[in-house]
Structures are given as C-alpha cells and as structure tokens.
Structure 1
Amino acid sequence: MRTAYRVETVRTAERALMARLPEGTLMARAAAGLAAACADLLRGGRSRRVVLLVGSGDNGGDALYAGARLARRGAGVTAVLLSPDRAHPGGLAALRAAGGRVAAPDEAAAALARADLVVDGITGIGGRGGLRPEAAELARLVHAAGTPVVAVDLPSGVDPDTGEVRGEAVRAALTVTFGTHKPGLLVDPAAEHAGEVRLVDIGLGPELPATPDLTALEPADVAALLPRPTGESDKYRRGVIGIAAGSPRYPGAAVLAVGGALHGGAGAVRYAGPADAAVIARYPETLVSTGLPHQAGRVQAWVVGPGIGDDPQARERVADVLDADVPVLVDADGLRGLDPDRIRARTAPTVLTPHAGEAAALLGTARDRVEAARLTAVRELAERFGAVALLKGSTTLVADPAGGPVRVNPTGTPWLATAGSGDVLSGLIGALLATGLTPLDAASTGAYLHGLAGSHAPTPPSASTVTEALPAVWRALLDHRTP
C-alpha cells in the first residue's frame, strides 16, 4: 500500500534520522537520487543545458548539490538564485567547484530559453499560501518556456498537506520526492502539477509512524480484498445486494446500477422500483419487484439514489432504504436534502458517494471550494454524516468517520467523466458491501476496480462498456497480474 505523510510528521522523522547520521547525509542521498532522475531525462539528447531554480530552503540545497553532480557529468548547469544571500552555502560551493554558474532572477528568462531541463527547487515542503511575487513570476516564465521540469520533493506553489494550489504553481513533468509521498502529490489539483512521481529512499521509513495520513491501494491490496466463493458458497451466502434506482424518466440509471452490482462479486441482485422492465430486459438474472424496497426480499446491503428523481415517491424509497438495518450506499438523487442526523442515527453503516457538486450541497459550500480542497471536504463529509464518504472526481477520495488515513484512488481516466459511470460505481460498491467488506474497503476497492475498467474499456468508453470491462479486470487481479 502506498502511504503519504504530512509535513510535520516528515520533519519529525527527518530530525530523528539526522541525529544518528553524519551531517549532510540526508541531503547527499536526496541530491544523488535527484541527479540520477535528471540524468535519465537528459540521456540521448545532443544538448545538456540545465537551469536550477533555487530558493533559500533545503530544497534549494538539494537542487544545488544535484546540479553539481550533473555538472561533473558534463552538463552545463546554471543556478538562478532567488535570494543569493540565503542560498545553501555548501550546495552553492559544490556547484561552483563543479563548473556550474550562477545567475540572478533577472537573467532567468534568457537562461530558460536555452535550457533542456529545469530543476524546480524554489520552495519545498515548507511552502505555504502560494508563491511570493518573484517566485510566481519564475513559475510563469517556466510555463512559457515549455521546457521539461523536474520538481524537487514537490512542485513549488502547491500545498504539500492538502493538495491545494493558491495562485501560480510550477507544473512538472517529473517530481522526485524523498523519504515518503506527501499528500499533495496524490490529490488534485496539486497532483496535476506533479507529473510522474518518483520516490527516492533516503532511509526515512523506520522513523515514520505506523499510521499515515493518506493511503492508496495497490494491486496486491485489492486482490486480497476481492471476495472469492468457496466450495460451500451459494448465491445467498455470497451476499445479496438490493438496488433501489431508476424511475420512469431515468430507467437507464437502474440498468447501469444493476450492471455494476452484477459485476461486484455478490451472489444475487434484487431490484426494487419502476424500471423493472428495462432491468429484466438487459439483465434477466436480476430478481425484480415494483414495490417499496423492504418488500423486495432479504438483502445484505442496499444502494439507493441513482436516477430516482426528486418526487415524493423517490423520497419514500430513500426513507424506506434508510430504515433497513443493513449497510446502505446513497448516491445521486438520494443525496438531495439528506439529513446528517438521520444518517448518524442509523444502526448500520452508510456510504455516501457524491461528486463535487453534490458534496457542496451537502456541506453548504461552493463547488469550486470542494474541488480546490478535496481532502478537507471529504473529511468534513465523513465527520458530519457519520458515514464513509467517497468524493468522486479527478482524484477520488474515501474517508472513514472514525478518522484514520484517507484513501486516494490511484486508478482511473478522465474518460470516466461520462453519463451513467457513477451509477455503475454505486452498484459495484454496493455488491462489495453485500459480500461483507467493510464500508471503507468496499468503497475504495470499488473505486479501484471502476477506475481500471474505465482505462481498459474501448476508448471513448461509455458506462456500459466500463461495466463490460469489469470481468477482465477482476480476473487479472485474482490471477495476480497487473491489469
């Protein structure tokens, strides 16, 4: 499982490790990894001109020492110093000794115009609140030049703990981060600025606490969570998922949610609602009924909301499902006007799966605020409703009301922003709930599978083709292959 830690935790771990090592050891390790990554990008090019953008912190020191290594390998290295009197003295001396040159900020444009690679060492993990004017101007110049950028630890201008971006920020092709991932490298909008992320081991692992701030499932983690039938399994022992979705106006939502549920590992799917004809026509294995959900028969979990509309009958269906003493996933129309006290009063777990607009309505804030501060929003949703919250979007996040690490989904593609995709995800997660996975595991495993299916479906995918891609994704994971 990939893990990420907040700056305060990283700083504490660094201090503990540095106390046992010769002075400068950690910076030397970081610079070596950074230089190797830069050399990989320069390999094969006819020219090897590197510009270092150097701030006053340790990130600037890492960049200077890495630049010295590159200069000794024959690269032409120029360091643009934002604060010459505060540049790391050891790193600056090493660069000059290796033949590198130093430039002032007003020479940056000319240097960048000739560069083959830019190393962003303006700010480090201590950067907060956006870039100062001079640094922001450098970020604009870098963007205008179009030269590939390698960010040191994380791109300057992004918040390392929250993933927020306030104002100008460097956009990197590659970010070389040290010791551990930082939350901002995994969460948009900051993650969008990071490009590819390469982790350099500097020996920090033993100093980090067992509980990280953010986690991301990897293939082996998901494979271990996937439900597997045994020789004694029958359709009921494998779990039965109930779907309360769709309406006369939106029958397709019911079909898509049922499709996701049928590919979620449960033994049977019950559908309750007015789209029974459409569901049975597409999926004849579904057990259908037209009454209220509680009349459909016994289930181990319910999904309610996709395409149900907002009329009194829809509200009655939501209330009926929330009265059930089984795990419930609420999505789409089911989220409208949802009462936090009603959810907190439930005796069984609840999962909420809003997109940013729905989350904004639930939190009483603006959509752009949710999208700018995803980690804050998903944690607030989980705490306010006492439910597992899955916030959909460019970065899908899952938070547990009990606290603990937020899970970030590492799979997916922008092509999944298509009508009905969320309905498939709801059914898929609901089925995993019915098989007995915890709400946190069901939500994060469902998001992982859904993201992989979106990447493997024919391009451009539709919600239906995403559903059809799920079996191949399951099979690859169960066979311990990378999908």
Structure 2
Amino acid sequence: MRSAHRVDQVRAAEAALMARLPGGTLMQRAAVGLAATCARLLTRRRGRVYGSRVVVLAGSGDNGGDALYAGAALARRGARVSAVLLAPARAHAAGLAALRAAGGRVVLEQEVGLADFSRADLVLDGIVGIGGKGGLRPEAQPYARAGRAGVVVAVDVPSGVDADTGEVAGAALRADVTVCFGTYKPGLLIDPGASYAGAVQLVGIGLELPAAEVVALQHADVAGLLPVPGAESDKYRRGVVGVAAGSARYPGAALLAVAGALRGGAGAVRYVGTAAEEVVRRFPEALVTEGGPAGAGRVQAWVVGPGGGEGAERALAEALAADVPVLVDADGLTELARLGPGALAGRTAPTLLTPHTGEAARLLAGAENGGSAGGGGGGARPPAADELAAARLGTARRLAAAYRATVLLKGSTTVVADPGGAVRVNPTGTSWLATAGSGDVLAGLAGSLLAAGRSPLDAASVAAYLHGLAARHAAATPGAPVTALEVAAALSTAWNDVRSAAAEPGA
C-alpha cells in the first residue's frame, strides 16, 4: 500500500525528528537518496556518471538545498554540474557551498541557465518544495516551456504541483521521475499532478507519521479484500446482487452491468428491467424479471441507474427503500441530483455513488440548491465539470460529505472517498477505458462486491483496481482500442493476476 500524507503532517514529523538529530542530518539523508537515484538514471542513460551534464534548478529554502547537496554528490563523482539560482539572495547557503567545494558551477544569468537546461543529461528540479502553492513564478516559467534533451528529476514534488491535492494552478515543470522523501504526497498520486510526476520513487528518511488519510492499494492489498467462497458456501451465502439497469433506449447498459456483476464475487445476479430477455439470452445464469426492485426478491445489494432512462426514478426510489447497500450510477445519479441529499437521509444501509465529473457537478448543484440540480431559484453557479476534474480530491470529499455516502469519482485518476474522510486513489487503468459502457461494467462489478459483503470503500476500491487492470489486459500493452465487453471479459484474468502476485514469496 502506498500511503500519502499532507504537508502539515510531514512538517510536524520532520520537526520532531530534527529535534533529536544533529543539524542538517535530515537534509543529508534526503540528498543521499536523491543523488543515488540520479546516478542510477545517468548510468542507465549514458553508461556512467562521470562527464554527464547535470543542471540543478535551485529555488529558495530546503527544497533547493536538497537539490544542491545532491548536485554536489554528483559533482564529486565527476559529473559536470551547474546550479541555476532562481532566487540568488535566498539560495540555501550550506548547499551552495557544498556544490562549489565539489567543483560545481553557479549560474545567475537566465539565458545561460536555459541553454544549460536544454543540453543537460539530467535536470534536478529543486525550484519549489512541498509547501509551494500556485503555479511557477515568472522567473521559473521559461523552464516549464523550454525544450530539453535529458531526464528531469523532481525533488519531492514537481514545481508548480500542489503536494496536498495534485492541483496545477499555472505553469509547472513536468518530471520524468519524482523522488519523494519520507512518504508519498497526495498530489503525486492524483491527476493532474500525477501526470507531471512521472515515475515516483520513495526515499525513507526516518519519519514517524500518523495513519494516512490517502492511500493507493497494491496487489497484495486487493488480494486480501477479494471474496473467496468457503467449503460451505452456496450462491445465496455468497451474496445476491440486484441490477436495475437498461431501458428501451439503452438496453446495452443492462448487459454490461450484468457482465461486470457476474465477475465480482457474488453468488448470483438478479436483473430487473426492460432488457430481461436480452440479459438472459446473453447470460443464462442471471435471474431476471421485468418488474422493479421492489418485487424482485431478496438481494444483498442493488446497482441502480446504468442506462436507466425513463425508469430511473422508480428504480432509484425502490432500491433506496430497501435496507441493503445501494450503488447509484448514471441516470440514477441524475435523478438523485434532482432530489438532493435528502433522498438518502433516512437510509441506514450504506450508499455508493459512482459519478464522472459531469455527474459530480450535477450532484453538487443539487446539494447546494436543496435538490433540483438544474439550479434555479437564484442559487450559486453550478460547478463546472472541468473545475471539478482539476480538483479531484476535493471534489470527491465534497460529494461524500454532502451526501453522507461513499463516492467513487471516475476519471483519469479514480478517487474513492468515504464520509469519514478516508480516501483511496486507484493506480491502475489506461486511457482506453474512456469508452462507452465501461462505467456500466464498473458499476456491476462494485455492486457484486457489495453483495459479497465488502464495505463501500473496499468494494469501490477493489472494483476500480480490477477494472483498470482488466482494461490493461484487454488493451494488450502498449495499447489498442477496447470495448466495454472486452474489459468485462478480462476481469477474471485481472482477478487471477492479483491473487497470483500476492501469493508469490515476498509479496
């Protein structure tokens, strides 16, 4: 599991550790790990460190100091290191002295710095650290636009990326590798910041940190959450998931949601809706009826909304009236946005919402206007989907708090947030998942995990992980277009991959 901590938590842990260590020890630990990573990259790229051209972009403060000390270490190994000082009067004095003593060169002229930057084999981005807010300052912006030949290594976080949220408010430097110290930062795991971070490598420096609010699961974590039938299991003990999906206009949504549900660990899938004939023809193992959720029989969880069309209002009301977990997706979310959070107020069983950012915008508008997502009544301007996508962590948390429900916010980084503040960031997936019907498969899969007894946080996190992994299999790296049914078909392979990797020694 990758655990990510807020800047204030990191600062507190650093202060506590520095109080027990000789001055400068923590920075030296960070610089040693940073320099080692840079040396490996240079050796891989050029065969050796000696003679490599290295540029250190050094801002003020400790982040610049880390970069300068690492530059000094590389200079002692024979690299030709130049340090471009973007805030000369506030450069880290001890780090700068170490660089000069190792034979490094100091650059103050912008034109010279940009020329060195464009020719370097490796660039160390030490402009702004984890405390930075907003985009790059004017003196650093040319480096975000300039062409470069070498590898860019960010120190703790790419400059211009908000370490706590992943938001990018202006110009930012795009890294190939980010070396972070002590713990991951949320902004390195969540887009848009994650797309600027490149490959992220963690260097331990001895910090003692509290439990993380933001984590990213890995194979072993997911394997431990997969439902596995026991010797006494039958289809009912394993859980029955109800799927209310599809309509005359969108019959395919029913097939896709059922396809995902059949591969999610529940013992049976009970389908209700207008596509009953199509569902049983394609999936004879499904239990079908043309009625609504109220008359479907006993289930352990409901999935409601994919392609629901004109039947979404009734399906949502009947599913929410049941005392079982309910996953709301697609047209169900549109109806919930019209009703507002009050529609969930009386529920004792948990609710899982699975919006994309457009649906998130409608849900937030519905919450802010007391229902009726269309706004009206002179309320505040509804949030725009692109604004919500740029602040994914905050968006998921806002929705979870407003609706007192677990939220799986879909997108380039899928973020799962529960009302208690816990967040899980999904590390799997491919851009080929942006295809019609893939969300229906995800909804069915997550609903099946709910029916199998997983909490909404676990069900959503595991479903997103397997869904993204299945898409990679279906796309067959380096990647080709996939269909939603192909993703559903690859779920069993993803499931087996997770279990097999977790069973390997040392996993």
After TM superposition, the score normalised by the length of structure 1 is 0.96
Aligned equivalent of 2:157, options 154, 159, 169: 154
Rounded to whole Å, the distance in 2 between the matches of 1:51 and 1:314 is 58
Q: Tell me the equivalent position of 2:333.
A: 335
- Asked whether the equivalents of residues 53 and 79 of structure 2 are also in contact (C-alpha less than 8 Å), the reply is yes
Deviations 1:307-355 (Å, cap 9, x if unpaired)? Answer: 011x3x3311221111111100000011014121111321211000000
Secondary structure in structure 1 of the residue aligned to 2:46: coil
Q: Pairwise mapping of residues 15-30 of structure 1 onto structure 2 (< 5 A)?
A: 15-30=15-30
Q: Tell me the equivalent position of 2:173.
A: 170
Rounded to whole Å, the distance in 1 between the matches of 2:120 and 2:323 is 63
TM-superposed deviation, 1:402: 2.1
Rounded to whole Å, the distance in 2 between the matches of 1:354 and 1:323 is 21
Aligned equivalent of 2:144, options 139, 147, 151: 139
Q: Tell me the equivalent position of 2:372.
A: none
Deviations 1:417-465 (Å, cap 9, x if unpaired)? Answer: 1111000000000000001111111111111111111111143221111
Deviations 1:159-199 (Å, cap 9, x if unpaired)? Answer: 01111001100000000000000110001001100000000
Structure 1 residue 344 corresponds to structure 2 residue 342: no
Deviations 1:52-88 (Å, cap 9, x if unpaired)? Answer: 1000110100110000010111110000001112111
Structure 1 residue 115 corresponds to structure 2 residue 133: no
Query: AA paired with 1:70?
Result: L
Structure 1 residue 397 corresponds to structure 2 residue 415: yes
Rounded to whole Å, the distance in 1 between the matches of 2:330 and 2:171 is 34
Aligned equivalent of 1:466, options 487, 498, 502: 487
Q: Tell me the equivalent position of 2:108.
A: 104
- Asked whether the equivalents of residues 344 and 387 of structure 1 are also in contact (C-alpha less than 8 Å), the reply is no
Secondary structure in structure 1 of the residue aligned to 2:212: coil
Q: Pairwise mapping of residues 217-236 of structure 1 onto structure 2 (< 5 A)?
A: 217-236=217-236
Rounded to whole Å, the distance in 2 between the matches of 1:427 and 1:344 is 24
Structure 1 residue 318 corresponds to structure 2 residue 335: no
TM-superposed deviation, 1:133: 1.0
Secondary structure in structure 1 of the residue aligned to 2:166: coil
Secondary structure in structure 2 of the residue aligned to 1:342: helix
Deviations 1:237-283 (Å, cap 9, x if unpaired)? Answer: 00000000001111110000000000000000000000011111110
Q: Tell me the equivalent position of 1:355.
A: 356
Structure 1 residue 84 corresponds to structure 2 residue 88: yes
- Asked whether the equivalents of residues 5 and 214 of structure 1 are also in contact (C-alpha less than 8 Å), the reply is yes
Aligned equivalent of 1:182, options 180, 185, 206: 185
After TM superposition, the score normalised by the length of structure 2 is 0.92
Q: Tell me the equivalent position of 2:405.
A: 387
Secondary structure in structure 2 of the residue aligned to 1:303: strand
Secondary structure in structure 2 of the residue aligned to 1:176: strand
Query: AA paired with 2:102?
Result: A
Query: AA paired with 1:157?
Result: G
Q: Tell me the equivalent position of 2:390.
A: 372
- Asked whether the equivalents of residues 400 and 440 of structure 1 are also in contact (C-alpha less than 8 Å), the reply is yes
- Asked whether the equivalents of residues 119 and 149 of structure 1 are also in contact (C-alpha less than 8 Å), the reply is yes
Rounded to whole Å, the distance in 1 between the matches of 2:351 and 2:385 is 23
- Asked whether the equivalents of residues 123 and 152 of structure 2 are also in contact (C-alpha less than 8 Å), the reply is yes
* Unaligned 5+ runs, structure 2: 366-382
Rounded to whole Å, the distance in 1 between the matches of 2:494 and 2:193 is 29
TM-superposed deviation, 1:481: 5.2
Rounded to whole Å, the distance in 2 between the matches of 1:247 and 1:217 is 35
TM-superposed deviation, 1:413: 1.0
* Identity score, percent: 65
TM-superposed deviation, 1:293: 1.4
Rounded to whole Å, the distance in 2 between the matches of 1:110 and 1:35 is 23
Rounded to whole Å, the distance in 2 between the matches of 1:151 and 1:475 is 35
Query: AA paired with 2:263?
Result: H
Please, what is the CA RMSD of the aligned residues? 1.3
**Structure 1 residues 274 and 337, CA, compared in 2 at 3 Å: closer, same or farther?**
closer
